[in-house]
Amino acid sequence: MKLWAYRGVTMFRDHVETDRHLWDRVQADDASAYETIFRRHVTAVHNFCAHRVGSYDVADDLTSTVFLEAWRCRRRLSVAAAGASPLLFGIAKNVCSQHLRRSKRQLLAIRRAPVESISLDHSSQVAEDVDNEKDLLAMRDALADLPADQRAVIELCLIGGLGVDAAAEDLKIPAGTVKSRLSRGRARLAVSLAEINASRTE
Amino acid sequence: MEAEALATVRQISTAKQQAIWEEVAAGISAATAPVPSRRHLKTRVVIGAGTAAAAIVAVAITMSPSAAAWSAVPTQLTGSSLFQAENACRIQVNKLPYLEGRPPSDPLLSVLGEKRGTTTSVFLTDGHTIALCLGTKDSRYVGIETLPAPPGQNDAIHIDDANGGDLTPGTGTRFAYGRVSEGITEVIVKTTGGDSVTATCDGRFFMAWWPSGANVADVIGLDSSGRVVAQTRPAAAPAGAQSPTHRPA
């Protein structure tokens, strides 16, 4: 496949090229540069989507949609000095919102379903996956309870892995404000999570 | 300062990364593939005009399917192989950039699937649109168009699209599809290049593709005893619309 033709070069350049430089090549239709950006950010985007929709599996599909959308819009989008994460998170936010709107009814049904009614496979892996998804759903609900400004900082720093300075640049607020929102958001998240977990075990 | 991640943040495996990348790469490949020229588009619409205006919603072309492994007689997909092909096709169709924001309202379900050599193709419909995925892992065509009006009661064979797309403009790979009346269980498509292609026929739909630019000459319907019960040909191609008949190497 021609997309892979310059893979070796890309892998070498991986260590020296910033997202911004790579994006210049992406804008010139260089799919190998885009693959490097993909490898750098796929985990962060996947986690971002999983926390928005409450499912790691659904996040698989949404992640590919995010990267396809970023490619589609490559000519009119630009990458900031902080890297491609803010750009990709912005797209992910829209993609997740679209998904949630489309599947609102199904999600409500899932949330209404008593957890006890889920038939568990005897495999420990399956049980572990179910636990992980339950934790993720609790986290999603807790995040939804946060004020928008705190949620944005939590999503960028604690889920997306952005540093404080990069998040400050993306949100156009001082780094000190990021830190304080992070701190307040974290505390509030812990309280919300405890309440959600308590209500689920009742 | 780097903040500590939440407990639910997890690394995704290399295998999963690769699987997602392959989805993305396929979409990129489809989105950057050459768009059919206006001449091709015009030809399609004119030929389709006799078949109730099949509005083309979206067509994405990647590379040509392997002609070397093509066979005139297909193997019909059933059971899990059809289910897998259907799922893979639905994912591709829903990701067509052209469909953004207006996905099919009802689920697209397979009406038929087949394999010719190494090339798998599947046809999906939600009753309003019809989607085709044709190709191998590295070579794929994905298209979707409005399902033309149902055939009249007197139509034993109704050709919905005889110029099934110039899948590979210049080198030529074509497909045709349509619907048949109840008694027809087998359909043969004769091309202007002299090929006789056995269509896959199921659920009153038929579909065939062939690795040449030849057009449809005749479509012949047979009943379960092998007797010819109907024969039809598409509306005449516009004057000057030459169709190449060579086969790609």
Q: Rounded to the nearest 5°, which phi and psi values hold at B38?
A: -60, -30
Tell me whether residues A158 and B3 touch, CB distance under 8 A. yes
Q: Does B15 touch chain A (CB under 8 A)?
A: no
Chain A residues closer than 8 Å to B97 by CB: 68, 72
DSSP A49-101: HHHHHT-HHHHHHHHHHHHHHHHHTTTT---BTTBSHHHHHHHHHHHHHHHHH
pLDDT tens track for A26-39: 988 888 889 889 98
Give the helix ranges, DSSP H, for chain A.
7-13, 19-27, 31-53, 56-72, 85-102, 104-112, 124-145, 148-154, 164-171, 175-201
Per-residue pLDDT band at A67 (split at 50, 70, 90): very high
pLDDT tens track for B163-197: 554 444 445 677 888 888 888 889 999 988 888 99
Task: Find residue B177's DSSP bridge partners.
Answer: B161, B207
* Angstrom distance (rounded) from CA A183 to CA A148: 14
Q: CB of A13 within 8 A of CB of A36?
A: yes
Chain B nearest CA to A113, separation (Å): 22
**Closest CB from A31, A43, A65 relative to B11:** A43
The contacts of residue A129 (CB under 8 Å, 6+ apart) are none
For chain A, domains (ranges, CATH) are 1-112 (1.10.1740.10), 122-202 (1.10.10.10)
Direct distance between the N- and C-terminal alpha carbons of chain A, in angstroms, rounded to an integer: 55
Tell me whether residues B25 and A164 touch, CB distance under 8 A. no
DSSP chain B: -PPPPPTT--PPPHHHHHHHHHHHHHHHHHHHSPPPPHHHHHHHHHHHHTTS---EEEEEE-SPPPSTT--SS-EE--HHHHHHHHHHHHHHHHT-GGGTT---SS--EEEEEEEETTEEEEEEE-SSEEEEEEEETTEEEEEEEEPPPPPPTT-SEEEEEEEE--SSTTT--EEEEEEE-TT--EEEEEETTS-EEEPEEETTEEEEEESS---EEEEEEE-TTS-EEEEE-PPPPPTT---------
Provide the pLDDT for residue A98.
85
Tell me whether residues B138 and A1 touch, CB distance under 8 A. yes
Which residue is closest to B62 within chain A, CA to CA? A1
Chain A nearest CA to B174, separation (Å): 23
The ipTM (two decimal places) reads 0.72
How many CB atoms sit inside 10 A of residue B10's CB?
A: 15
* Angstrom distance (rounded) from CA B177 to CA B203: 13
Chain B nearest CA to A10, separation (Å): 15
Chain B residues closer than 8 Å to A61 by CB: 91
pLDDT tens track for B198-238: 999 987 888 988 887 788 888 999 988 889 888 888 766 44
Position A52 pLDDT exceeds 50: yes
Chain B nearest CA to A154, separation (Å): 9
Per-residue pLDDT band at A131 (split at 50, 70, 90): low
Tell me whether residues B25 and A31 touch, CB distance under 8 A. yes
Position B248 pLDDT exceeds 50: no
Chain B nearest CA to A136, separation (Å): 6
Sign of CA dihedral B118, A62, A92, B35: positive
Q: Does B106 touch chain A (CB under 8 A)?
A: no
Closest CA to B215 of B240, B239, B241, B180: B241
**pLDDT: is B170 or A51 the higher one?**
A51
**Closest CB from B11, B95, B101 relative to A68:** B95
Q: CB of B164 within 8 A of CB of B158?
A: no
Chain A residues closer than 8 Å to B6 by CB: 51, 139, 154, 158-159
Q: CB of B97 within 8 A of CB of B88?
A: no
CA angle at residue A198 from A196 to A200, to 5 degrees?
70
Q: CB of A152 within 8 A of CB of A51?
A: no
**Closest CB from A63, A72, A136 relative to B31:** A72
Lowest mean pLDDT among B47-61, B113-127, B147-161: B47-61
Across A13-22, average pLDDT: 64
**A&B contacts, CB < 8 Å:** 90
Using the structure block, give the residue that is written with the tokens 């593939």.
Answer: B33
**Closest CB from A39, A72, A182 relative to B17:** A39
Q: CB of B206 within 8 A of CB of B162?
A: no
% of chain A surpassing 90 pLDDT: 22
pLDDT tens track for A76-117: 888 887 789 889 999 999 999 888 887 765 555 555 655 444
Angle between helix axes A124-145 and A175-201 (nearest 10 degrees) is 120
Per-residue pLDDT band at B126 (split at 50, 70, 90): confident
Provide the pLDDT for residue A66.
93
* Angstrom distance (rounded) from CA B230 to CA B223: 9
**Closest CB from B1, B10, B27 relative to A164:** B1
**pLDDT: is B50 or B31 the higher one?**
B31
Position B89 pLDDT exceeds 50: yes
Position A158 pLDDT exceeds 60: yes
Chain A residues closer than 8 Å to B139 by CB: none
**Closest CB from B6, B7, B20 relative to A64:** B20
Tell me whether residues B25 and A47 touch, CB distance under 8 A. no
Q: CB of B161 within 8 A of CB of B145?
A: yes
**Closest CB from A46, A132, A182 relative to B3:** A182
Chain A residues closer than 8 Å to B105 by CB: none
Provide the pLDDT for residue B91.
77
Closest CA to A87 of A98, A76, A77: A77
Q: Does B8 touch chain A (CB under 8 A)?
A: yes
For chain A, the average pLDDT equals 77
